Chain A
Amino acid sequence: MKINKTTIAFVAIIAAISVGFTGINKPKPIEIKIPSNFPDPVYDLKINPVTEEGFELGRKLFYETMLSRDSSVSCGSCHQQQAAFIQAGHNFSHGVGNKHGRRNSLPVFNALFNRTFFWDGGVHNLDMVPINPIENKLEMDEHIDEILLRLNNAALYRQLFKNAFSVDTISTKEFLQALSQFLAAMISADSRYDKYIRHEGVQLTPEELAGLQLFKMKCSSCHATDLFTDGSYRNNGITNDFRFDKGRAEITLNQNDKGKFKVPSLRNVEYTAPYMHTGSLETLEQVLEHYNSGIKESETLDSIFRNKDGVPRIALTPDEQKNIILFLKSLSDTAFINDKRFSEYK
C-alpha cells in the first residue's frame, strides 16, 4: 500500500477520535454483590456507584501516606490486610510521630452494612469516616484541605480523579467518595461458615457445629445476624475504670452510656488480636475466659451478663470454650485477607 499524506491524515484523525472516545469513556461500574446471608446495605450505592476507576483510586488513597501530616502513615498502616484490616500486635495504633491512639483499631471490612462507625458510634455515614482518623492528632493529624492541595498538585492524582469522577479539580466530595468506593467493595463473606450456611458444599466439623450451637445460646444476642453484631453499645465488663475512656457517653453525654462500646463483628476474629477496645486480651482463650470469670462489675454493666444470683458471667466449661473458639475460627475468610484487589501492592 502506498502511504501518502491523505492516508496519514486519515489515520491520524481516526486515532484522535478513538483517543477522544477513550478520554470521555464513562468509568466502568463494578457490581457489588450483597451476600445472600447478609442484611441490606446501609450505604447508598446509588449516590456513589462503585466503578473500577473509583475503586482503584480509593485503594491508592487508602495506602497513601500523603494523607498524614508527616507522610509517615497511611490508612493501611493501622488497617493491615493480613490482620483483617486491624494493626497486628498493637493494642493502640501508632499514629504520626509515633503517638499512640486511645483505642484498639477496628477492622474496616463490611463497612457498607454499618449504621454507625467507631467504638463510640460518633460517625453516621461511611463517607465521613476517614476524616476522623485523618484529623485525629494521635493518628494522622492532618486536614482535608491540606490533603486536597497535595492531591491537586500531583498530576497522577488529577488524572485518576478525572477518570473516576470527570473532575478537573479534586474536592472533598470526590476524595471521600473514592475512599468510600474502596471500603464499600471490601466485603468479607467467604468464610467456611458462610459456605456452610449458604449450602455451598462446605460442612462444619462436629466440634464447630457444637460451638455454633453454644454461640447461638450464649453469644448471638449481641453478636447477632451474619454480620455478628447487633450494632448496639454495651459495657462488657472489660474494665470498670472509665476515667481514661467513657466510650459511648462521650458522644451522648449520658452517664448511663459510660463504659459502653460498640459490639464488634466477630468475622475474621482469628486474625484481629488483641481484643476489646482496650486491646488488653491477647487470645480468644482469654476472651472466653473473660466472659466466664473476668467480667468486672460496674453500674453500666450490661444486664445480659447477670445470672439469677446476680453474678455477672457467661458460664462456659473449658470444652465449651474450645468448641466456641473452633466455631469462631470458621468465620475466618482467608480468601479475603489474601485478595489482591485490596492489597497495597498487586
Chain B
Amino acid sequence: MKYPLIKIIAFGLIITALLSFVNPPKAKTNGTMVLKFNNLFNNQAVEFGKEYTNAHGEKLTLKTLNYFISNIKLTLKGGGEYVVPQDSCYFLVKQSDIGTQQIVLHNLPAAKYTAISFMVGIDSTRNTTDISRRTGTLDVGSTAKVMYWSWNSGYIFFKMEGQSPVIPDSAGNNFYYHIGGFGGFQSKTINNIRTKSISFNESVSNKNKIPVINIDVDVAALFNYKTPILLAKDPDVMWGELSVKISENYISTFNLGSIDYATATNSDK
C-alpha cells in the first residue's frame, strides 16, 4: 500500500492544525441591543380609543395595531454586516402587548454599529414553508393567529383596525387595513414585503453597555405619505392592489428616534 493509514491520519491532523491557525479568532458574541418600537399618531403615543385626526381631516380611533419585524441586519463600523440568525429573527410587535414592543437581540458581536435594516413583513420562504419552520412568533395557531390568511396562505404583515365616523353605521364605522402578500408562489402576486434601512448617524457600541434604538412609527403617515388613503373611500383594504400603496405609505413611518444606553447586566459583560 502506497499510503499507509498512519500517514493519512497524520496528514489529516496537520491539515486540521493548519486550518485552525488560518481561522481568525471568533469575535465575542456576548453583545446585546434593544430595538424599541414606539407607535405614534401625529407625534403622540398611540392609545386605543383615543381620537385622532388624519391628514384628510377624518377623525378616527384605533383598536388594533400589529406588525411583523424580521430579517434584521446590522452594519458594522468599518464595513461588513451582522445578520441576526434566521431562527431568532421573527418578531410580532403588538400595540396591545407592551412586552412585544421591545425586541432584545442577544448574542451579537460586541462591536460598533452604524446602521440597521429590517423587514416589515415576512420573507417569501417562511410564507411557503412547512409547519416545522413556523414555530414561535410564526405559529399560526398561537402568536400569529390573527396575522395569517388561511385561504390565501400567507402572513399578514401589518394590521391596523379602528373606527371612524366617516364610515357608515351600517359598516359599524369600522376600518380594516390587513396588509400582506409575499410576491406569489407559482404566479407573481402582490409583494408587500418592505425593507427599511436606518442609519444611526453615529457609531453605536454594545461593548459593556446595551444600546436601546428607539424606532418611532408614526402611523398617521399611513393615510398620506405617498398616496392619499381616505377612510371614507377605502375603509377596508386587505388582499387588493391598494394594499401596495398602503405598505409604501407605512414603511416611511419607521424612523429613528433617540438612541439610549442601558447598563449591561453581569451576564452581558
Contact = CB atoms under 8 A, between A and B. Distances in A.
B128 interface: yes
Contacts of A135: 150-151
Interface string A159-180: 0000000000001110111001
Interface string A117-147: 0100111111110011011100000011101
Contacts of B266: none
Given A127-B130, A131-B150, A145-B142, A116 B241 contact: no
A257 B184 CA distance: 14
Given A143-B145, A254-B187, A173 B153 contact: no
B129 interface: yes
Given A145-B145, A176-B131, A124 B185 contact: yes
Best-buried of B130, B134, B140, B187 by chain A (most CB within 10 Å): B130
Contacts of A144: 140-142, 145
Given A144-B141, A148-B141, A177-B132, A121 B186 contact: yes
Contact of A128 (B145, B150, B239): B150
Contacts of B130: 43-44, 47-48, 125-127
Contact of A253 (B145, B151, B185, B241): B241
A251 B145 contact: no
A18 interface: no
B165 interface: no
Interface residues of B, number: 27
A136 B132 contact: no
B88 interface: no
Given A148-B141, A172-B139, A177 B185 contact: no
B151 A132 contact: yes
A252 interface: yes
Contacts of A125: 128-131, 153
Contacts of B153: 122-125, 128, 132
A123 B152 CA distance: 6
A320 to B, nearest CB: 33
A115 B186 contact: yes
A118 B149 CA distance: 14
Contact of B141 (A43, A123, A132, A175): A175
B240 interface: yes
B241 to A, nearest CB: 7
B190 interface: yes
B53 interface: no
A27 to B, nearest CB: 16
B142 A171 contact: yes
A253 B132 contact: no
**Interface size class of chain A, counting residues whose CB lies under 8 Å from the partner chain:** 35 or more
A251 B152 contact: yes
B interface: dominant SS: loop
A248 B82 CA distance: 40
B189 A145 contact: no
B135 interface: yes
Contacts of A48: 130, 132
Nearest to B185: A124
Contacts of B239: 253
A277 B189 CA distance: 23
Contacts of A136: 150-151
A329 B32 CA distance: 66
Nearest to B131: A127
B140 A251 contact: no
Given A122-B152, A135-B150, A253 B190 contact: yes
A44 B189 CA distance: 25
Contacts of A47: 130, 132
Contacts of A122: 151-153
A171 B141 contact: yes
13 contacts: A47-B130, A118-B151, A121-B186, A122-B151, A125-B131, A131-B140, A131-B141, A172-B131, A172-B134, A173-B139, A175-B141, A253-B189, A254-B187
Interface of A: 43-44, 47-48, 115-116, 118, 121-128, 131-132, 134-136, 143-145, 147-148, 171-173, 175-177, 180, 248, 250-254, 257
Given A136-B150, A144-B140, 18 more contacts: A48-B130, A115-B186, A118-B151, A121-B185, A123-B151, A123-B153, A124-B128, A124-B185, A125-B153, A127-B131, A145-B141, A147-B141, A171-B141, A172-B141, A173-B134, A175-B141, A252-B189, A254-B187
